[in-house]
Amino acid sequence: MRTPRTLAPLLALLSACAGPQPRPPAVPAAPAPVARSLPESARPWAAWLERCDLDEAERDLQEHLSRLPEQARLERQRTLLGLGLLHLSRGRFGEDARMFWQAVQAEPGSRVALLAAWQLDESLAVSGPASHGIRSEVESLLRSPLSPELRFLLHRVLRSLALREGDWDTVEAHVRQAGAIPTWRIWPLTGRDPQVALEEAFRQFPGAFPAQPGRAHPSSSADGLLLYEEEGARGLLLAECLFEIKSAATLWLRLEGDGTWAAAFDEQALLHDRRPGHAGVVETRLFTAQPGRHRLRVAVPIEGGRAILGVNLLPADAAAPDLVFLSQETGAAPPLANSAPSQGAEPQAEAIREADRAPEDPLPRLWAALASWSYGDMDQAIEQLMLARQRAPAFSLVDYLEGVLWLENDDLPQGIGAAQARRLWGQALATCPGLDLVRFRLALLDGMENREEQALETLQRLEALHPQTFIFPFFMANFFDRLGWNAEADQALERARRRVDFDPELWRLLFSKALRWRDEQGAYRLAQELVRRNQLISPLNAFFWARGERETTRRGLEAAARYFGAQLGARLEAVDLELAAGELERARAALDRAEADFGLRPELVKRRVDLLERQNREREAVRWLERLSQLWPWDLHLRLALRVVDGRDRMFSAADGPADPLSIIREYLESDFVAGGDAVLVLDQADLDVAPDGSSVERIHFLVHLLSAAGVERWGEVRDIPPGAQVEMVRSLDASGNSREAEVVPGKESITIPALQTGDFVEIAYRVGRRPSGVRAGGFSASRFYFASEGLPIFRSRYTVRVPKGLPLVIRQHNGAPAPSRQRVGAFDVYRIERTRTPALPAEPDAAPLDESAPFVEVGFANGWRDLRDLLSVRLARASRISWPVIHFVQQHTPRLWSDAELACSLFREVNRAVRRGSDAGDFDESAASVLMRGEGNRLIALVAVLRAAGFDPAVYLARTISSPVLEYRFPQDGVFTHGVVAVPLSGGKTLWLDPAERDQPCGRLFSFLWDQPALRLTGSPGDDFLTRLPPAPERLPGKEIRLELELGADGTLSGTGRDVLDTAEATRARELLSGFSSALRQQVMENGLSAAFPGARLESWSMEALDDPERPLVLHYRLRTSGMADLEPDGLVLRGGFFPYRLAAGLAAQARRARPLLIEDETRLRTTVEIRLPPGATAELPAEVRLEGPLSEFAYRARSENGRLILEKNIRVRAGRVAPEEFQAFKEFCLKVDRKDVEPIRVVMPRSVRAAAR
């Protein structure tokens, strides 16, 4: 396991040739640097730190080194490390390695020696001949008393050198001397979520290990890694090793692995977690152990078919006796000897403390950054670099290093990291043009982004400056090759070849190029050289095999199997080659050896079946196929192979089987089923076969009768078959049984059924295999199966579920779904549920979700809402990790001297501003850092991370809304808990609720669709109640107010002002809409709103208040004039009423009746006050006061006259919720009454003189 470092393996960049990425906004600048004079300790660096005069800096450092006495070892060491970094920055590969090595030698017992050794390892990778002289000196130093960490690093240096030369025995020796565990006992626990499994294991760690003995599993002798691979596996790898010491000793334990893992030394457990409070990928610990037997246990997530962890264990004292690793014993083991954690040096923490003690000196910050980097703690490394930049703004090395960290940040999309690296490296070159390493990295970045010609121009200049370095022409050859400039590529490769004795990557590139150009002789010469150098690569094996030199290939494969013993790849390659060549006995022997080492793996069983078939041992092949099908019960290809062999479809038990479409069509046509609509689903059949591990195979079978042209259009293009499904048939049938197969066009997302006509039948059948996907082992729940459909009648629905007998299957019925029957058939329990002649559910506007009306069933076992909560909890924790972009965001947006409530609200607003476009609240696949930097994604993740970084402990909930189905589901279902909210504990026992769903959401408020709704709590202790409810409605209910102050002219003209105050969710939506509009568009919105309420109205002026402040109500001011609201009569005027009419019936109750509940998604509270100054002497005939109530609703209307003014007050409230079908008539009547009262005319009687003047 290698930590990313300053000059990480460069070939990785060539394999990541993505197109140009969109440029994200720049990271906010760090706090402004303050110009200060350098302290005395940094004076020799002044030319680099302040002026970036690299020649002068080199002279000054060399001169300073020459003046230092031998006993000033620490200062000499820092100066040598500085010279090494200077040479590295200038692209002087080789010279930098020599300086790093001298720095190690200067004071091997210091922390800086560890940094120098860490840099040395990677510098030697590109230094060419410079590595030869260092090897013997490293070996000599290793014979001295050294710290375990330095011994580890130096053995890794020697291992890297030996690996390049193909000296595998030496590689193995240094891996062993670096403390790698030679052999483990392992327990792969698959078929479960890796992170949830790790959380549970750690709570009882190390007691989580099974009682039965584990399988012996070697570490790879080439790298010492604990590596487990199994195709498609997910879960947790438990591993254990036993060792013995003869006398008391202090032991140094080093573990390295990305992500999360757990370990225990005897009974002392530790959890490495890249969540808040846990940084880096390397953990080191010291333990004091008494003589006797000890045990080391680890738990590593298996993700993407792989678990990997670097584990090294060394005596802290180099003179102590070696550890003796023991084989696992069966039966009762002797008791473990005593051990306890021991305090020891913490290089990273000590480096940071030293930097804190010298705040004016940028160099300790640089050492602290490199120390953090060497442990994989990229966030701390960036923080230390930015502190160094504040002290030395012109220090270009800081910009370069920070750019590398951004580029290698796994939390960010590659495009964002690359853009930040390019910005910082451009900044470094602007300050310091002599940084050839920066130019080199920019050239590689250009190559990544498909700017090969620009990259080549840079590399050509670098080669001219460094004519002895092979790495520049090597990469030039790659870029020439990608452009198709073959002659130039060959010339560049030849120049690289002349400059280095041997480089594995260069020779492999030469070999692959010779193969590609069918240069048989050149490829053979290179292949022989690679073999002579003991290079173990797969193309080399295939090359010699094709030439008939099979023994050469076999020797290479045997060596690969030995040195990479934990990897199955070389074993599979050997079996495949022997099978393809007809060497069946050799293939059998290779398989036997692989099965003895790796157990019964599906990859091996597949090849065993192939072998048996080639040997004409059909019965044994079938038995092995059945065995493989038990290992991978979800694999459709295996089932198909078995069906081809013996003709038996293992999908079905004896009493079941695929439906006969012709007999069903006959039965349907002869029935009295009255369908109607555009189509009838004649058959909706699903057969589900569930294995004990929670995997499943499902067969879906549809038969549709087309009754109209719309039906033909809908079903003529089949789009509903999921990816990866095994399609059995897509065809059309007529009543006579004539069929036409569908056209399958490669690359087309849908399947076209040709010549389809009204009256035809469409038949679709396919199978889907699903791996185990339960959160915990053996957990399973199926998708809901519905026995009714919206707008589509169903003649026959049939759902069959088959499970191994005795498995406790749970079937939950909803809305009158039919009851299941159960039958024991051989080794299975078969459940059948059937329903016939189901009319279509009506498609009604504003209907409650389908699940509240349609009959359906849930099926599953060993899976529940707690499982989903635990899964979402660990995913949220990973996504909301406090990385440097999050910390920097908080630093940039944290006001001073504010209360905790004000701080939380401020950060809430800043996150909403930064994340312009939100996404699904339950999507935790993207990190908070990425969301903040992209400006789009899940705001909930970003908000949680920011609040945690600011010191809050937010509780996170996924809630139902009023629109969610009102059902108690037995198993977790999509679309139920969908709305993310956060509760922030404040001082004084108060709680601040935050809803980041919309950008303009006010702080501290939940709107009506969330009041008292059920919620999943995603944070807290495992034993906490995870199902809860959000707070109920507040005492002060928000609403909307409209106030009109108008004057009625004698001619019927109304003019005056209006003021609308929005303090509801409507304000949030209005802000989202209006904030993106120009002034002209905003005016158009105002005009459209007025003209809808006041026919012929003219908007004379308008303004908006608090449009950009979501904490205040949104206020709209306007002045209007209209002549369309009153009619002249002989004795006065008639006002038509309807000042901002509700039009409830048209909006909510347009149907005569309903079959499904009416869903009202948000509460409406509207208070309207209209004050009209009447013409002089005029009087109004006041309408009667009214109070109405209906389901979920209430209305009040009052009119009065004061001092020549007519005052109308109307209040309406429609609560969020559901109006049941049996209540709909009452609700409709309420709406009609309100609408009639709302527009009731008002007669205004005017004196004759006023009427005459108006005429």
H helices of 893-1047, in order, are 900-914, 928-934, 939-949
Contact 851, 814 (CB under 8 A): yes
Domain boundaries 179-342, corresponding CATH code: 2.60.120.380
> What value, to the nearest 5°, has the Cα angle with vertex 893 and ends 888 and 897?
120
pLDDT of 1023: 65
- The predicted-structure confidence for 235-293, as pLDDT tens digits, reads as follows 999 999 999 999 999 999 999 998 889 999 998 888 787 554 455 789 999 999 999 99
- List Cβ neighbours of 487 (8 Å cut-off, separation of 6 or more): none
Query: Nearest-CA neighbor of 77 among 96, 57, 42, 105?
Result: 105
Answer yes or no: CATH 2.60.40.60 is held by domain 866-1029. Answer: no
- List Cβ neighbours of 201 (8 Å cut-off, separation of 6 or more): 208, 236, 238, 262, 299
Spatial strand order of the sheet with 955-959 comes to 991-994, 979-985, 955-959, 1014-1017, 1027-1029
pLDDT of 533: 86
Integer CA distances (angstroms), 390 to 49, 81, 883, 969, 1225, in order: 12, 22, 20, 57, 72
Query: In this structure, how many other beta carbons lie within 10 angstroms of the beta carbon of residue 759?
Result: 13
Residue ranges of domains in the chain: 179-342, 661-761+774-862, 866-1029, 1040-1249
Integer CA distances (angstroms), 1129 to 1046, 1054, 1095, 1206, in order: 21, 16, 19, 19
pLDDT of 25: 38
Q: How far is C-alpha 1108 from the geometric centre of its chain's CA atoms?
A: 32
Integer CA distances (angstroms), 38 to 44, 52, 610, in order: 10, 14, 73
Between helix 538-546 and helix 520-532 the angle, nearest 10°, is: 120
Q: Is the peptide bond before 129 cis (omega within 30 degrees of 0)?
A: no
- Asked if domains 179-342 and 1040-1249 share a fold, the reply is yes
Answer yes or no: CATH 2.60.40.3140 is held by domain 661-761+774-862. Answer: yes
Query: In this structure, how many other beta carbons lie within 10 angstroms of the beta carbon of residue 174?
Result: 24
For residues 267 and 289, what is the distance between their CA atoms, to the nearest angstrom? 12
For residues 99 and 107, what is the distance between their CA atoms, to the nearest angstrom? 13
pLDDT of 415: 87
For residues 380 and 883, what is the distance between their CA atoms, to the nearest angstrom? 9
Topology of the domain covering 1040-1249: Jelly Rolls (2.60.120)
DSSP 8-state symbol, 1025: -
Q: Which residues of the chain have pLDDT under 50?
A: 1-35, 276-277, 330-331
Query: Nearest-CA neighbor of 309 among 298, 295, 318, 323?
Result: 298
Tell me the torsion sign for CA atoms 991, 997, 1001, 1007: negative
For residues 887 and 905, what is the distance between their CA atoms, to the nearest angstrom? 17
Contact 203, 784 (CB under 8 A): no
For residues 279 and 943, what is the distance between their CA atoms, to the nearest angstrom? 20
In the three-class reduction of DSSP (H, G, I as helix; E, B as strand; rest coil), residue 1148 is classed as helix
For residues 252 and 311, what is the distance between their CA atoms, to the nearest angstrom? 11
For residues 1139 and 52, what is the distance between their CA atoms, to the nearest angstrom? 74
- List Cβ neighbours of 239 (8 Å cut-off, separation of 6 or more): 184, 185, 186, 187, 214, 217, 226, 297, 298, 299, 300
Query: Nearest-CA neighbor of 801 among 778, 828, 773, 770?
Result: 828
For residues 172 and 359, what is the distance between their CA atoms, to the nearest angstrom? 44
DSSP 8-state symbol, 1064: S
Structural tokens at position 1180: 């109004």
Query: Nearest-CA neighbor of 689 among 651, 658, 640, 649?
Result: 651
In the three-class reduction of DSSP (H, G, I as helix; E, B as strand; rest coil), residue 1078 is classed as coil
Amino acid at 626: E
DSSP 8-state symbol, 388: H
Query: In this structure, how many other beta carbons lie within 10 angstroms of the beta carbon of residue 953?
Result: 12
